[in-house]
Structure 1
Amino acid sequence: MIELQNKRIKIFIIFLFSIFILLILMLIYRMLFVSNKLTTTMANQQLGVVKTVYPRGIFLDRNGIKITGNVKSVDNINYIDYIDPSVAKNIIGDVKIDNKDTTTNAVKGVSGLNKVYNDILSQSQYPFYIMGIRDARSNILSSGNAFIKSVSDPADTQITLTINSNLQSEAEKLLQKYVDEKGYKNIALVLSDVKTGEVLVLASKGSYLNSAVISYQPGSVFKIITAGCALEAGLIKLDSTFNCTGKVTLDGNEKTVCKNGGHGKITLPQAFAVSCNSTFYAINKMLNITDKNGNITGNMALNKMAELNIGTYNNPIKNSFILNYDYSYDFVTDKIYNQKGTFNAALGQGDIQLMPITVNKIISAIANNGIIKEPVLVKEINIMGLKQNIQQNEDQEKTIFSEKTCKDLQVLLRQVCVSGTASGAKTVNKYAAGKTGTAENVDNKSCHGWFTGYFPYDNPKYAMTVLVEEGKSSYNAVKIYNDMLDIILKYDKDIN
């Protein structure tokens, strides 16, 4: 019996020893052949993607301040954001990101300058990942435990804009304030350098779209063209007088165009200052071109717009400005057929639509004594140290009117701010010359409000245009213009 028990004990000891030897052998095997795989697996269970970064060429403002490519933070980890701009969102535009794509095609510009320069911005730019070690609750343990995985070698690509990012930011805040407080549908503001055409601000708030490059009826802003053409042709002078009865007859129908019996006897500067509709109807009739039977065959103001490469309602010409929407064009009516058409054209109504960027180009040319400077938004492109300056072709410069005509128009424009429809705005009254406009809208919606002008009036440096979509009248456009002018004066002490 005792011998049997000893035998069983011996077998049990041998069994335990065998298991022990087997465990040792397994441990040795894992240490020699599987340890690296286990280590990697355990590490990967703790690692997580903190942020996927999509390198891309960056945008700078005119002073070298970064608009994209700024440092941001996630989970206390700093990274460079190449996608979201600090300002000028509807200039820079949007991109579409394919999260499954790890090639240079992962990011594609779909609007704005991102679309225009997509090939330049995205070349040799591969996505990379910021990885972090997480705890059991998937929280990053500390910024010291984060690192970059799959690093790309982004090319040094920079696109320098003419935009002043400080003024752009101020304008965007100002317009947003008016949208929030007044409920305006859209507001656009364009600010440019009179001498160079460089766009310093191109702000738009209220809509996803950039209203600065969408066309609207210009209203009485178009009277600048009407007056300029008549002055150029010698049909009127600064001392010309008119008689405003407050009514006009259009194709046999009487229409009231001024309240309280009209303005009576009125000079050209006075008529321009108060935007007298009957006076400008009379002037535009002078601009009509007729055949021997008295039929209207053309109009000098419409011909002037054709010279400025602005198409007609039925044959629109796409604006050459770098930012454009496929469906938005500047255009004027194809032809004036009767007195009603003459009246509407004089007032910038009917089949006439202009973009704020175009209106600003026109007022800038008048401030520049007739020399047209096409609006410029991109100043320089730098690809890995190879710089390309974007400059206008000086040999192709056009003039809108003669220097004398522009000098006369400058007198009229200043009168608007001294004693006319914009004189109630204190800073505008002191520094600016310009023209208001209230444009009728479709379907009985509120009118659009315009103000376009330049400053200082005696030594023009800047041209600025404000459009308030459904702003009811030009009063609100003038107010925004005045507020923005106050801001500009704080940045440019030379104006004072």
Structure 2
Amino acid sequence: MKNKTYNKRKVLIVFVCASAILLALIGRLAYLMIFDAEYYQKKAESLHERERDIKAARGEIVDRNKTVLATNKTVCTISVIHNQIEDPELIIQTLAKELELDEAAVRKRVEKVSSIERIKTNVEKEIGDRIRNYNLAGVKVDEDFKRYYPHNELASKVLGFTGGDNQGIIGLEVKYEDYLKGINGTILTTTDARGVELEGVAEDRMEPVAGQSLQISLDYNIQSFCEQAALKSMEEKQADAVSILLMNPQNGEILAMVNVPEFNLNEPYILNTGTDADTLTDEQLQDQLNQMWRNGCINDTYEPGSTFKIITTSAALEEGVVKLDDTFSCPGYRVVEDRKIRCHKVGGHGSETFVQGIQNSCNPVFIDIGLRLGADRFYDYFDQFGLFGLTNVDLPGEAGTIMHKKEDIGLVELATMSFGQSFQITPIQMATTVSSLINGGKRITPHLGMAVLDKEGNVVEELKYKEKDGIVSEETSATMRMLLEGVISEGTGKNAYIEGYSIGGKTATSQTLPRSANKYISSFIGFAPADNPQVLGMIAIHNPQGVYYGGTIAAPVMRNIFDNVLPYLGIEKSETVSDEEQQ
């Protein structure tokens, strides 16, 4: 009786446990069928659907006159679907031959068990069409887009380029990525349990949305001419590099930005130095590519030298520590504390007014007015003029000003700062600040982007940029225009003079660090017309061989540019009366 009772209990326990498990399973099944039905339905559908991307056409980049600078080229993506392959050997041989790939590499991808395996992207359309015509089971040829730059090297470090995924990497391509990229589409095909696409079942397509186009202030003709002038200058002076910047000082629109040597945007991973990439390590190659892609106008800093005297003069006039008829004496040097700081004219300029000191680019004169300003006020004007911040130009990687801390500025540092040494700024910062000092005192934002366009070329959005008034007074700005016109007509900038045009400007010759290397940067900043500036130009020649003075080699290049660009922009020469007519 005890055994019988015991066995009944065991049966009951087993029955209860089995019932509990069964009820749990029923409950779980009900939960999955009712509450998680949508989730598992999607999972089931995904097993019978294959998705392929359709790349969106990237928006174009056009210049101010709508000349196309960056567009798209139709290419193909070649893929294989493992479950649909009928003759793998034929596919391997055909693709290796047509795509010029190693047969072993193609075999590895063809034999890989996956829903879809990409063999090669960015294949020329002609080749893609040939592969499609073979009608190879399991081979898919999808049309795609590749970025194409019709002018190859033009403005390469400004425009930038895209990667294999059609996303921007440098320049405007990455800065305006959100406007340009568009939205990719998809192709959905239905398959059976083996992954083979079902015949007679229509593809489900979601069409891509093309990106919007970007209109920039760059002018193709001006950019082309400036690049030619820069290349000629680089070759003649056997220089390391030449940078040229042209902009409208009234609103900050950049008309040209040149950094030679440029590189081919359609082959951005081929070094422009002629170096064999196979001789370099991966790290060395990447370093050289990064250097090749650098935009010197915004990414690199330099000691501005005498062009900075424009800023020192503006600060001194604004502060009232100097008048135009103040007189100075230049014996060829100035002693500051224990340092003998020389003028570029060894014998000195003798007695001269402040106006003559600017025309002569006399260092002792600027040391004197720098010391009159004092470190605190000079530092304040740096801040007021915007030199401590970024210009916020619409290009990535802008470098900031490298400056002494205020507490570290002694008399010697103050003296050298007054004529543009012992600190560093970027060319774009220099050009922007000078623009603000000659345009009436309005701090502008240098920029390239003007408008976002739709595919028909209609303006979708006009791009706006910040401006700040009151950098200097109108009176100081007018005085600076007059003084800098005198530098061209009577001073060190005579080589930039063009008959019939009033041009203002300043030359500079600065030595790079370390000083022992004896390398120089010859530069010039000029603007025209002097009384109402519409164009400001800056040129920097890096490490020229032979004569390296800015007034001798940089000013003539800008004169040549102005001589061609000013009439092109509709800026006419003023009427002049010849000596014969006067008689």
Q: TM-score range by the shorter chain?
A: 0.7 to 0.9
1:151-179 deviation per Cα after TM superposition (whole angstroms, max 9, x unaligned): 97451511111111111111112212222
Counterpart selection for 1:211 from 296, 310, 315: 296
Counterpart selection for 2:549 from 473, 481, 485: 473
| Equivalent residue letter for 2:549 | S
SS at match of 1:376: coil
Give the number of aligned pairs: 398
The 5 Å alignment of 1:370-385 reads 370-383=441-454
Counterpart CA distance in 1 for 2:363 and 2:186 is 60
The reply to whether residue 276 of structure 1 matches residue 276 of structure 2 is no
* Change beyond 3 A, Cα 1:127–1:118: farther
> Are 2:56 and 2:210, in contact at CA under 8 Å, matched by a contact in 1?
no
- Return 260-269 or 180-189, whichever deviates more: 180-189
1:188-234 deviation per Cα after TM superposition (whole angstroms, max 9, x unaligned): 11111122211111111135321111221111111111111111111
> Are 2:344 and 2:363, in contact at CA under 8 Å, matched by a contact in 1?
yes
The 5 Å alignment of 1:214-233 reads 214-233=300-319
* Change beyond 3 A, Cα 1:127–1:88: farther
The 5 Å alignment of 1:320-469 reads 320-325=392-397, 328-335=399-406, 336-350=408-422, 352-383=423-454, 387-393=460-466, 396-427=467-498, 430-443=501-514, 444-469=517-542
* Change beyond 3 A, Cα 1:53–1:432: farther
C-alpha displacement at 1:246, in angstroms? 1.2
Counterpart CA distance in 2 for 1:469 and 1:269 is 29
Counterpart CA distance in 1 for 2:236 and 2:74 is 31
- Return 250-259 or 263-272, whichever deviates more: 250-259
1:16-63 deviation per Cα after TM superposition (whole angstroms, max 9, x unaligned): xxxxxxxxxxxxxxxxxxxxxxxxxxxxxxxxxxxx998311101111
> Are 2:59 and 2:181, in contact at CA under 8 Å, matched by a contact in 1?
yes
- Structure 2: runs of 5 or more not aligned: 1-53, 76-123, 128-143, 188-204, 262-291, 574-583
| Equivalent residue letter for 1:63 | N
Query: 2:64 aligns to what?
Result: 62
Counterpart selection for 1:267 from 353, 358, 367: 353
SS at match of 1:67: strand
Counterpart CA distance in 1 for 2:470 and 2:526 is 18
SS at match of 2:321: coil
> Are 1:422 and 1:429, in contact at CA under 8 Å, matched by a contact in 2?
no
C-alpha displacement at 1:120, in angstroms? 2.8
SS at match of 1:94: coil
> Are 2:179 and 2:213, in contact at CA under 8 Å, matched by a contact in 1?
no
SS at match of 1:330: coil
Query: 1:250 aligns to what?
Result: 336
> Are 2:512 and 2:521, in contact at CA under 8 Å, matched by a contact in 1?
yes
TM-score (norm 1): 0.73
Instruction: Please report the RMSD computed on the Cα atoms of aligned residues, expressed in angstroms.
Output: 3.0
* Change beyond 3 A, Cα 1:381–1:240: same
Query: 1:138 aligns to what?
Result: none
The reply to whether residue 168 of structure 1 matches residue 223 of structure 2 is yes
Counterpart CA distance in 1 for 2:500 and 2:378 is 29
* Change beyond 3 A, Cα 1:114–1:266: same
Counterpart CA distance in 2 for 1:309 and 1:426 is 30
1:329-385 deviation per Cα after TM superposition (whole angstroms, max 9, x unaligned): 2233223533321221111111x2121111111222233121222112100113566
- Return 332-341 or 477-486, whichever deviates more: 332-341
- Return 206-215 or 156-165, whichever deviates more: 206-215
Query: 1:83 aligns to what?
Result: 148
1:51-85 deviation per Cα after TM superposition (whole angstroms, max 9, x unaligned): x99831110111111111277998999x9863325
Query: 1:308 aligns to what?
Result: 385
Query: 1:194 aligns to what?
Result: 249
> Are 1:91 and 1:112, in contact at CA under 8 Å, matched by a contact in 2?
yes
> Are 1:54 and 1:83, in contact at CA under 8 Å, matched by a contact in 2?
no
1:433-472 deviation per Cα after TM superposition (whole angstroms, max 9, x unaligned): 0111111211224111121121011332111111122243
| Equivalent residue letter for 1:69 | T
Counterpart CA distance in 1 for 2:495 and 2:250 is 28
Query: 2:371 aligns to what?
Result: 285
> Are 1:59 and 1:158, in contact at CA under 8 Å, matched by a contact in 2?
yes
SS at match of 2:519: coil
SS at match of 1:414: helix
Counterpart CA distance in 2 for 1:334 and 1:429 is 45
> Are 1:189 and 1:204, in contact at CA under 8 Å, matched by a contact in 2?
yes
Counterpart CA distance in 2 for 1:126 and 1:330 is 45
Counterpart CA distance in 2 for 1:85 and 1:398 is 40
Counterpart CA distance in 1 for 2:512 and 2:471 is 28
Query: 1:124 aligns to what?
Result: 183
Query: 2:104 aligns to what?
Result: none
> Are 1:221 and 1:451, in contact at CA under 8 Å, matched by a contact in 2?
yes
SS at match of 1:69: strand
Counterpart CA distance in 1 for 2:464 and 2:433 is 20
> Are 1:155 and 1:383, in contact at CA under 8 Å, matched by a contact in 2?
no
The reply to whether residue 178 of structure 1 matches residue 254 of structure 2 is no
* Change beyond 3 A, Cα 1:428–1:361: farther
> Are 2:360 and 2:492, in contact at CA under 8 Å, matched by a contact in 1?
yes
* Change beyond 3 A, Cα 1:249–1:127: farther
> Are 2:243 and 2:257, in contact at CA under 8 Å, matched by a contact in 1?
yes
Q: Percent identity?
A: 25
> Are 2:248 and 2:535, in contact at CA under 8 Å, matched by a contact in 1?
yes
> Are 1:379 and 1:390, in contact at CA under 8 Å, matched by a contact in 2?
yes
* Change beyond 3 A, Cα 1:408–1:70: same
Counterpart CA distance in 1 for 2:240 and 2:377 is 34
| Equivalent residue letter for 1:186 | A
> Are 1:187 and 1:466, in contact at CA under 8 Å, matched by a contact in 2?
yes
| Equivalent residue letter for 2:256 | V
Counterpart CA distance in 1 for 2:316 and 2:219 is 37
* Change beyond 3 A, Cα 1:267–1:382: same
* Change beyond 3 A, Cα 1:226–1:118: same
> Are 1:58 and 1:82, in contact at CA under 8 Å, matched by a contact in 2?
no
> Are 1:418 and 1:429, in contact at CA under 8 Å, matched by a contact in 2?
no
Query: 2:98 aligns to what?
Result: none
Counterpart CA distance in 2 for 1:201 and 1:189 is 7
> Are 2:330 and 2:350, in contact at CA under 8 Å, matched by a contact in 1?
yes
> Are 2:73 and 2:148, in contact at CA under 8 Å, matched by a contact in 1?
no
SS at match of 1:108: coil
> Are 1:251 and 1:338, in contact at CA under 8 Å, matched by a contact in 2?
no
SS at match of 1:202: strand
* Change beyond 3 A, Cα 1:277–1:365: same
| Equivalent residue letter for 1:66 | V
SS at match of 1:248: strand
